[in-house]
Amino acid sequence: MVLIAVLAALLLVAEIILYVFLLPDPTQKPCKSSSLSRFMGKLAYLSAYILSLLRAPLGLLPYIVKLFIFFVLKIPYESSRSTYFREVINMLGDFVNLGITLLLVLLLVRSLNFYPATIMLSLPLGAEMMRILAERLPITNSACWQLLPHRSIARSILAHRDSSCFWNLVARSCTRYCRYYALSDTERMRTLLHTLKRRAAWDTDLSNRLDYMQAFRIVPLEYGLRGGHVRDVALGEVFIHRSWTNDPWLLVGMALRRAPWMFDPRYLRRPFYYMTEANRLATLLVLEHACYSPPYAIFQCGHEIRVARLHFFYGVLRWLGLDVEEKVAADGTFQFDQFIFWLMRLIACHLHREMDSLEIILYGFILDSITTNFLPKELPRYLGCPPP
């Protein structure tokens, strides 16, 4: 626990430095991802994948709760229409789930008194703590950062920079901060995308992929940005909420992950699966180019610790001949919770077969009643056929 606390403190300090002093800036020179950075990105993805499999048991309780809400309580549960309130509930649920699991593990360890069992039971907990550290902490930092009045702060610093040596020092130390946050939302989006493409000019592969993106588009806060409802493939626009312009590192990450390059068959044949195909490619692109947005790369690694197990799960089911996962639609949208809606289709097919059987029985009963009570020459009229 002490190690986790130290890592959290270091991550917090690093993000503050990145957000205040090292924001993406038009004055930056082009850079190119090295072979070492690409190797580290692949290694980070592999590590996240292994940790995801280790923490899989901790995903069982939340998923049972989700199934109970959907099938027993009959409450619509559509993950792709996620809201900020639901995200807060999910985050609180993560800590409750971790606390309950930790308590159960402690009770089992005391009763078993067997060291190998202690190690086996502790591995999922360690993986979950790493996931919360890498995924939830950056999300919380980003959300809090977005709430601050950065435009007012930046303009106030610029207005006072000639009033004293102190303010002049602050303005010179926070040049990138002031330059970015003094802009309007539209100017921020345009400047940031231009800066990203300029920095990627020497990185041929990344530059080619970013050419598929033309602009950011601000959408209403009520518009849930999940389930593929995140871009306009035809126009090359990536959707964001207005408050996201307060987090330039988030916008860079969105551009890397959600630019519509993967809809070009040269990168990924169509139609394709999201979790077992597209997600892996998009994640690797972010992790292999972590230098363009370190905070988002950290979040992406934590996010993969949570979802990469689905890649394994869907792949194994498909190998067994059970294709649970639906393919991505032509407009880029997809069914977010594949397993729940596969169960819905399975239940619907079962009910349909039951209804077919019921209709056959009912039809036989009606036919028997007709033949008993009507003359033979009248039968076709009652069966829906023209009389002879």
pLDDT above 90 coverage of the chain, percent? 40
Confidence of residue 352 (pLDDT cuts 50, 70, 90): low
Residue 369: what pLDDT? Answer: 45
Residue 329: what pLDDT? Answer: 79
Which of 30-39, 172-181, 334-343 has the least mean pLDDT? 334-343
**Rounded CA separation 172/298 (Å):** 29
**Rounded CA separation 181/329 (Å):** 37
Confidence of residue 359 (pLDDT cuts 50, 70, 90): low
Residue 77: what pLDDT? Answer: 57
Q: How far is CA 341 from CA 314, 324, 384, in A?
A: 14, 9, 38
Q: Higher model confidence: residue 70 or residue 150?
A: 150
Residue 387: what pLDDT? Answer: 37
**pTM (two decimals):** 0.81
Q: Write out pLDDT tens, residues 268-290.
A: 888 888 888 899 999 999 999 99
Residues with Cβ within 8 Å of 272's Cβ and at least 6 positions away in sequence, in order, are 262, 278, 327, 328
Confidence of residue 61 (pLDDT cuts 50, 70, 90): confident
Q: Which of 34, 33, 29 lies closest to 199, judged by CA?
A: 29
| The Cα angle at residue 280 between residues 279 and 281, in degrees rounded to 5 | 95
What average pLDDT does range 177-191 have in this prediction? 94
Residue 81: what pLDDT? Answer: 54
H-type alpha helices, the chain = 2-20, 35-54, 60-67, 84-112, 115-131, 137-147, 150-160, 165-173, 175-181, 185-199, 204-210, 248-258, 279-288, 294-319, 338-373, 379-382
Q: Which of 99, 109, 87 lies closest to 61, judged by CA?
A: 99
**Rounded CA separation 305/355 (Å):** 43
The DSSP letter of residue 275 is I
**Rounded CA separation 175/156 (Å):** 13
Confidence of residue 117 (pLDDT cuts 50, 70, 90): low
Which of 64-68, 342-346, 380-384 has the least mean pLDDT? 380-384
**Rounded CA separation 310/320 (Å):** 15
Q: Higher model confidence: residue 321 or residue 212?
A: 212
Which of 174-178, 237-241, 337-341, 350-354 has the least mean pLDDT? 350-354
Neighbours of 339 (CB within 10 A): 17
Q: Beta strand pairing status for 215-218 and 231-232? A: unpaired
Q: Say if residue 128's pLDDT is above 90.
A: no
Q: What are phi and psi of 258, to 5 degrees?
A: -110, 0
Residue 348: what pLDDT? Answer: 66
Could you tell me if 244 and 266 are in contact, meaning their C-beta atoms sit under 8 angstroms apart?
A: no
Could you tell me if 135 and 8 are in contact, meaning their C-beta atoms sit under 8 angstroms apart?
A: no
